[in-house]
Amino acid sequence: MNLIKPKKLTKGDTISIIATSGEINLEKILNAKKYFEQKGFNVVLGSNITKSNNGLAGNDNERLEDLHNAFLDKNINAILCARGGYGALRLVNKIDYSIIQNNPKILCGYSDITILNCMIYKKCNLVSFSGPMAQSDFADNIDTYTEENFFETLTNTSITLTPKKTVEETFSPVEGILFGGNLSTISSLCGIDFIPNEKFIFFTEDINEPAYKIDRYFTQLLNIEKFRKNLTAIVCGDFTGIDNPENLHNTLDELKKELNIPVVQNYPISHTPIKATIPVGGFAKLSTDKLVITNYIFEN
């Protein structure tokens, strides 16, 4: 596989903020724009970002146009998604992936943007980033960890993530590319060819999903032979707002025993203000107390 890598983020670069999913709060987007400008970046907004259509940031063609144009514009160095919600799934069969493949650059987002992260890696072999977004993370009350990890990931060639709590169990290190994101969103891709052809470490999180649905999403994915065959480990972030933490614990424990792979928890991957920026398609090695991500970025 010929992995395509974007160029690293440097001061003076131009960042495009686009909305591929839910409609935006313009005040917050302008606050995020100001934040990045104060950090030394140029910022442009997608031409359709203020549109609204049935709760989405414009109709499918308008949201798709901003995505295509952000990749086509040679003056844009990185793309930051405005927010999640819903809408990216409506675009996957309309995207011209050759545009993205021929114009590689940073794209970052989480939640509904998981759709784009997964499909861009599958279709283009391009590393993109599961990480903070303009409206939810850079508009106000910016978390220090999230901010520092964002810039560390987008300007370095390796990073190390550690769990928020001490790990009690030990296991032999495993490796693979990093693939994943929001669990319920990834499950919505079932029926589409989205699973990597190589071994992968699956990282995931979710918000306001009951424990039985978390079990359902994992089961749905693991019922796909290719997913199960290529899976080397599961790295869990936060499942905030869950109704029954004990049931979730039991589900993850069952997965670990059934699959005979590491299933680790408490990594800073979440819908909370504290979130890591993770390269989807980056190579990683998981050991008991850390996830070391190397050789994922960047083109010189």
- Per-residue pLDDT of 134-153, as tens digits, reads 999 999 999 999 999 999 99
The average pLDDT across 28-44 equals 98
User: Which class for 81: exposed (0-12), middle (13-18), buried (19 or more C-beta within 10 A)?
Assistant: buried
Q: Residue 3: its pLDDT value, please? A: 87
Give the per-residue pLDDT at 168. Answer: 75
pLDDT band of residue 297 (cuts 50, 70, 90) is low
Which DSSP string do the residues of 31-92 spell out, in sequence order? HHHHHHHHTT-EEEE-TTTT--BTTBSS-HHHHHHHHHHHHH-TT--EEEE---SS-GGGTT
What per-residue confidence (pLDDT) applies to 296?
58
Task: Give the Cα separation of 260 and 263 in Å (integer).
Answer: 9
Confidence at residue 300, expressed as pLDDT on a 0 to 100 scale: 43
Q: What is the residue-averaged pLDDT of the chain? A: 95
Q: What is the pLDDT of residues 193-238, one digit of tens each?
A: 999 999 999 999 999 999 999 999 999 999 999 999 999 999 999 9
Report the percentage of the chain scoring pLDDT > 90: 92
pLDDT digits (tens, 9 = 90+) for 112-128: 999 999 999 999 999 99
Confidence at residue 295, expressed as pLDDT on a 0 to 100 scale: 62
Kindly state the average pLDDT of the residues 246-255.
96
Domains in the chain, ordered, with CATH?
A: 14-145 (3.40.50.10740), 159-294 (3.50.30.60)
Question: Which residue type, as a one-letter code, is found at position 48?
Answer: N
